[in-house]
Structure 1
Amino acid sequence: MMLHIPEVLNKQQVAELRQQIQQASVWVNGIQSAGQQAQQIKNNLQIDVHSDVYPSISHCVLNALQQNLLLRSAALPQHILSPMFNCYQSQGNYGNHVDNAIQYSTKTGQMIRTDVSITVFLSEPDEYEGGELVIEDTYGSHEVKLDAGDAIVYPATSLHRVEPVTQGSRIAAFTWIQSMVKDDWQRTMLFNLDMTIIKLRQQLGDTEEVVSLTSHYHNLLRQWGNL
């Protein structure tokens, strides 16, 4: 499932993050965090995770993700990795790739499985040309270029790329989630059921039928959840 989540960060939060990033000026070559294969197709900059500014800006984005109800319903997070930050400019791009299946969590000191990928845009669309995130799935290619503060959530198994930025700079935060439900199809079914229950509760209240659907939701989560 690919899902656009608006206003994960509000405009003030985006402005404050951008100001901290600009003042710190701690970009390093993105190749440093890439595997051998990705090094051949990755051309961007990333915030140095050992810099003084990284903990505070990463925590800001992580906190916003953890509190977002739509993200929690869609991804069913068991663990969210500390967000990182990238910048594409001067023809910077990232060719077709699939994210690593396993990532190291500095928070827990353990390896986690990456089920869901997230990009939170920090640049407005009119600040740069090109730079579309292109995600491939069974229905074709989907170009994503969102307002600053908005996020795109999609399966980490997806083939995707970032098109060259021909003018301006594209700044974004990105991270991965290990979900309580490993299978994307099952997560999608649970999300659709959850959204339906919410709408029915708003229209009808907690009727017998709505309570029954809620029971089905939680029983499916028990069946499919992996804790």
Structure 2
Amino acid sequence: MILHIPNVLTKEQLIECRRLLDNANWIDGKLTAGSQAVNVKNNFQLSENDELTAYLREVITNALSCNPLFISAALPNHIISPFFNRYENGGNYGNHVDNSIMFDKKMKKNYRTDISCSLFFTDPEEYEGGEMVIEDTFGTHEVKLPAGDMILYPSTSLHRVEPVTSGARMVSFMWVQSMIRSAWKRSMLFELDNTIQSIRAKYGETSEAVNLSIHYHKLLQEWAEL
């Protein structure tokens, strides 16, 4: 499932984050690339030891923890500490698949990467190129979202970032270990939750909505891995 989540950050948060990122100390992204990615990664990244990284991570994880669409779609067990990158002057990231297990230095623990996420800090009109291209069983999808919006996609998806030919593209990227390991089970629960919320919005707290909610939570209890 590929999902666009709008307005993860408020306008005020975006203004502050952009001010900080525009004046950040960027390092070569290859320094944090894995054995496969190092051959196709051409961008800049904030150091994990940078105080700005720690601050922005807190802003993002706090925002996601109270975003109902993100919670419903990802059913997060843990959000692996976000990273931040910048693409300019032809910067790109060739075809790759994210590592299936990531080590979170803050938690000092390995986590499974079920879902990959990219949160945009720059609007599409601020740069040329830089499209994120995600390939799945339904074809190829190009993504270029407004600042403050996020894209969710399976971590097993082949994806890339096209060269940025002018301007600069700044994005936070992160991974989620979901309570639900199976992608199709997560998708089923997401659709069921959407149906319940739609019924409630149209008709109120009906017996049908209550019954569906009971089934939702029974499935969540049956399938969750904590």
Pairwise CA RMSD of aligned residues?
0.9
Q: Which residue of 2 aligns with 1:167?
A: 166
Deviates more, 1:86-95 or 1:13-22: 13-22
CA drift of 1:22 comes to: 2.3
What's the CA shift string for 1:64-104, capped at 9, x where partnerless?
11111100000000000111100011111101111001111
Q: Which residue of 1 aligns with 2:60?
A: 61
Identity %: 52
Q: Within 5 Å, give how 1:75-224 maps onto structure 2.
A: 75-224=74-223
Query: Which amino acid is the alignment partner of residue 175 of structure 1?
Result: M
CA drift of 1:108 comes to: 2.0
Q: How many residues align?
A: 226
CA drift of 1:33 comes to: 0.9
CA drift of 1:53 comes to: 1.6
CA drift of 1:188 comes to: 0.5
What's the CA shift string for 1:153-200, capped at 9, x where partnerless?
111111100000000000011100000001111101100100110110
Q: Which residue of 2 aligns with 1:18?
A: 18
**Structure 2: how far apart are the matches of 1:37 and 1:71?**
29
Unaligned runs of 5+ in 1: none
TM-score, with normalisation over the residues of structure 2? 0.98
**Structure 1: how far apart are the matches of 2:107 and 2:50?**
20
**Structure 1: how far apart are the matches of 2:96 and 2:58?**
27
1:118/1:174 contact within 8 Å kept? yes
Runs of 4+ in 1 over 4 A off after TM superposition: none
Query: Which amino acid is the alignment partner of residue 42 of structure 1?
Result: K
Query: Which amino acid is the alignment partner of residue 19 of structure 2?
Result: Q
**Structure 1: how far apart are the matches of 2:65 and 2:83?**
15
TM-score, with normalisation over the residues of structure 1? 0.97
- Any idea what SS the aligned residue of 1:153 has? strand
**Structure 1: how far apart are the matches of 2:219 and 2:124?**
39
Deviates more, 1:109-118 or 1:6-15: 6-15
**Structure 2: how far apart are the matches of 1:176 and 1:37?**
18
- Any idea what SS the aligned residue of 1:53 has? helix
Query: Which amino acid is the alignment partner of residue 158 of structure 2?
Result: L
CA drift of 1:20 comes to: 1.2
- Any idea what SS the aligned residue of 1:108 has? coil
